[in-house]
Structure formats: structure tokens, C-alpha cells
């Protein structure tokens, strides 16, 4: 493998990612008329970031510390952006798009490590990550999705370099963005070839220190080991079998095998058998890829039945699954087309790309309507309240994000 990979494939990946992002932004502007977020949770992050930037502490209501943001690190990232631009909407979108571009490039380089002889597979993997409808939506949503994706993909890259401590550092740091990142953090300790107690000590220490600091922070601001939002949205018990079935169907939908004909999966279903073939080929060398791509939704399902809007809670399996799938496609193309395997791989890749472009158009338009709905409901009402309310007035609402950001009132959930 060349130590200096060609810049052209990386440029193509970035251009494809930027083109997909541009479509989402254009759809948002055309449908909604003004910039915003497609989830009320994004406005919760924005409110925390503004309060932190303006000297009111880590709080939703100014000066009242609370562990209400799922990803504290994301608040710490948004706060200086607000300080610089006095706004978080466009800065958060630019940050998200930049993170998605970087993640796609990291997947490209990781794939080159997985199969140094393949020139098409790494390019295909990078493009499929960059134009994934799920990840494009996340990039412009204002949520922590693209930042956690970048941390996960950086860990993937270090994992393929067999830099185990750096892998553990990245995947453990992700807990500060997504509490369920603890699953990846644990895989950094145990899911590697030639594992021994001795060679896992360094990774275990790194993971322990980072997660310990995270737990202490949550105790300091919220009085519990996890953010309050985690307790509200998750629980263990109940109909476990039903939860697992629900999560399995959402995982299949994410990869294009929808059990509801009216709901199109975000990726082409050909990737599922390709992932299985790739898993068989790579499980001994890269076991964490297989464990996370297939196992994470099942573990997550034990605590909650929903993968979230556009599969956002399980979206992080996408780069892992695409690396496995591209490896599997390369193997199948080689078996089917022999010396002409590149043509077969390219044809399969173009089918996958075409599907994602088609679905991405629909998801982008839906994103625009979600932004419009929040702008014309919660944001509109909050701005009306701000004009008529007095300082210190209290309002009680269900969706608190945009209300907290725009109303100027003390907000009770």
C-alpha cells in the first residue's frame, strides 16, 4: 500500500458529501424559509451552549445547573461557536458537515488498511458513508450525531493501525457525546486479536479514567451518574423480546430491508449479505467491526425500543457495516468476475450509491418539513410569548428546546 494515497479519491469523497449536504440545506431553505433544526432536542443543546457561553453555567434555565444534555462534550463544542458567532444554527450545521466529510475520509483510509490491494473498495466505502441519508440528516440536524460519528471513525482508523490505546481513547471519549458509547469503549478493551490481560491494561485504564470523569461530571451537575435525559428515554426491563424484535426490524430497515413497504430503508439491501460475507472474512482480524455492526442494536434494544428519527440512535453502525459490506462486495466480485472483479464491484457500488441518492432526496425534503414544523409551532409560539411575557415568568411545556431558546422565560418540562 502506498504511504501517500492519491488525493483524487479523497476529493471525490468530499465532493460527494458536500453535494449531499448542499441538497439537504437547499431543501431546508426552500421548504422552511429560514434556518432551524429538525428536532426540538437540538434547541436544548443550543440553549445549554448559549447559557454556558454567556456566563450562566451548564444549565437550561440560566444559572440552574442540571444534567439535561445527553452529550456534555457537544455543549462544550457549541458554546465557543455561540461566543464567536452569537448563533448556533448555521455554525452547528457547518460543524456537522465538516465532521461528516472527515468521517468519510477516515473510513476511506481505514478501508485501505483493511485491503491494501483494493482501489475501488476504499473509495466506495468513503462515498457510501458521506452520502448516507441517515448521516447527512445527522450532519445538518444540530445534534451530536456527526461529532460522535467522527470520534467513532477516528477510533476505527486507529483500530486498523492496531493502535489499541488510541482506539480506546477515541471510543471512550465518545461517551461524553453518547452514553451508549460505553459499548464501543468496552469493545476497545476486549475485541482485538491476540487479546491478553496484560496487553489490555493500557486500554482499560484509559477507558476507566475517561468514563470515571464523565460519571463525576454528571454527579456534579445533575446529581446522578447519567444525564437526566437518559433516564427519561431509557429503561431496562419490560417486554425485552418485543424490544429486541423492534430494534432488529429497525436495523434491517436502516440497511434497506424494510418490513413496511411504504418506508424505504436508507441503504441498499445488497449491503446486508455483503456485510455477512465481509464479517466472515474479517472477524478474526477486526472483531470489533463485526461485534458493533451486528451487536450494538441488540444491546441498545435492551434499554429502549426505538432507534430514533431516521435511525439516529443506531446510525453509528453505518461506517462499521459499510467497511464490512465493501469487503464482502470485493470478495463476491472477485469470485464472480475473476480478473474483471473491478467492474463487478463498481456496478454493485453504483447501485448502492443510486439507492442512497434516491432515498436521500426524500429524507432531505422531510428534514425541511421538520424544520418548518418547529419554526412555525414551537419557535413561533415562543417568540410570541417573549414579546408578551415579563422577566421571570414561567411556562410549562412538553417540547422545551425551542421554547427555552426563544421565549426568555423560565421553562418547566
Q: What is the pLDDT of residues 23-48, one digit of tens each?
A: 999 999 999 999 999 999 999 999 99
Sign for the pseudo-dihedral over CA of 172, 174, 179, 185:
negative
**pLDDT reported for residue 301:** 86
Contacts of 273 (CB under 8 A, 6+ apart): 328
Question: What pLDDT, on the 0 to 100 scale, is given for residue 236?
Answer: 65
d(CA 85, CA 95): 13
Rounded Cα distance, 228 and 224, in Å: 8
Residue 357: what pLDDT?
98
Q: Which of 54, 47, 36, 38 is nearest to 74 (CA)?
A: 47
DSSP conformation class of 376: I
Here the cell at position 84 is 464567536
Closest CA to 30 of 368, 409, 374: 368
User: What is d(CA 135, CA 130) in angstroms, rounded to the nearest whole number?
Assistant: 7
Report the pLDDT value the prediction gives residue 390, as an integer from 0 to 100.
Answer: 84
Residue 277: closest CA among 341, 338, 321, 339: 321
Cα–Cα dist 36/400, whole Å: 15
- The pLDDT assigned to 285 comes to 94
Phi, psi of 147 (to 5 degrees): -70, -45
Distances (CA, A) of 136 to 127, 312, 353: 12, 11, 14
In the chain, % helix, strand, coil (3-state, to 5) comes to 70, 0, 30
Q: 63 and 79 in contact (C-beta within 8 Å)?
A: no
Residue 128, pLDDT score? 99
Instruction: Using 50 as the pLDDT threshold, list the residues of the chain that sit under it.
Output: none
Residue-level pLDDT at 215 = 96
pLDDT at 311: 85
Amino acid at each position: 500500500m502506498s504511504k501517500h494515497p492519491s488525493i483524487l479519491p479523497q476529493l471525490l469523497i468530499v465532493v460527494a458529501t458536500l453535494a449531499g449536504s448542499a441538497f439537504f440545506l437547499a431543501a431546508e431553505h426552500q421548504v422552511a424559509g429560514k434556518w432551524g433544526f429538525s428536532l426540538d432536542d437540538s434547541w436544548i443543546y443550543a440553549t445549554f451552549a448559549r447559557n454556558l457561553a454567556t456566563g450562566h453555567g451548564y444549565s437550561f434555565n440560566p444559572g440552574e445547573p442540571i444534567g439535561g444534555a445527553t452529550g456534555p462534550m457537544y455543549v462544550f463544542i457549541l458554546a465557543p461557536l455561540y461566543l464567536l458567532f452569537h448563533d448556533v444554527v448555521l455554525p452547528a450545521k457547518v460543524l456537522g458537515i465538516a465532521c461528516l466529510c472527515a468521517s468519510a475520509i477516515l473510513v476511506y483510509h481505514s478501508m485501505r488498511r483493511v485491503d491494501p490491494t483494493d482501489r475501488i473498495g476504499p473509495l466506495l466505502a468513503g462515498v457510501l458513508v458521506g452520502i448516507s441519508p441517515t448521516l447527512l440528516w445527522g450532519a445538518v440536524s444540530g445534534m451530536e450525531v456527526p461529532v460522535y460519528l467522527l470520534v467513532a471513525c477516528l477510533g476505527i482508523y486507529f483500530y486498523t493501525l492496531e493502535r489499541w490505546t488510541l482506539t480506546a481513547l477515541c471510543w471512550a471519549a465518545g461517551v461524553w457525546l453518547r452514553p451508549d458509547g460505553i459499548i464501543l469503549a468496552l469493545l476497545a478493551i476486549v475485541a482485538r486479536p491476540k487479546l491478553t490481560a496484560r496487553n489490555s491494561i493500557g486500554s482499560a485504564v484509559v477507558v476507566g479514567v475517561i468514563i470515571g470523569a464523565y460519571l463525576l461530571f454528571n454527579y456534579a451537575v445533575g446529581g446522578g451518574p447519567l444525564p437526566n435525559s437518559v433516564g427519561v428515554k431509557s429503561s431496562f426491563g419490560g417486554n425485552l423480546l418485543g424490544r429486541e424484535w423492534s430494534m432488529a426490524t429497525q436495523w434491517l430497515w436502516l440497511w434497506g430491508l424494510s418490513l413496511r413497504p411504504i418506508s424505504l430503508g436508507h441503504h441498499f439491501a445488497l449491503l446486508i449479505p455483503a456485510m455477512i460475507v465481509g464479517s466472515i472474512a474479517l472477524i478474526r482480524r477486526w472483531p470489533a467491526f463485526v461485534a458493533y455492526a451486528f451487536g450494538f442494536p441488540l444491546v441498545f434494544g435492551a434499554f429502549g425500543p426505538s432507534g430514533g428519527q431516521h435511525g439516529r440512535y443506531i446510525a453509528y453502525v453505518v461506517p462499521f457495516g459499510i467497511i464490512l459490506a465493501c469487503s464482502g462486495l470485493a470478495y463476491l466480485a472477485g469470485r464472480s468476475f475473476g480478473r474483471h472483479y473491478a467492474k463487478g464491484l463498481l456496478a454493485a457500488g453504483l447501485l448502492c450509491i443510486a439507492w442512497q441518492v434516491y432515498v436521500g432526496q426524500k429524507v432531505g425534503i422531510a428534514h425541511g418539513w421538520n424544520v418548518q414544523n418547529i419554526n412555525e409551532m414551537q419557535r413561533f409560539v415562543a417568540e410570541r410569548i417573549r414579546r408578551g411575557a415579563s422577566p421571570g415568568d414561567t411556562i410549562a411545556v412538553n417540547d422545551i428546546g425551542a421554547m427555552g431558546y426563544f421565549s426568555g422565560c423560565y421553562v418547566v418540562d
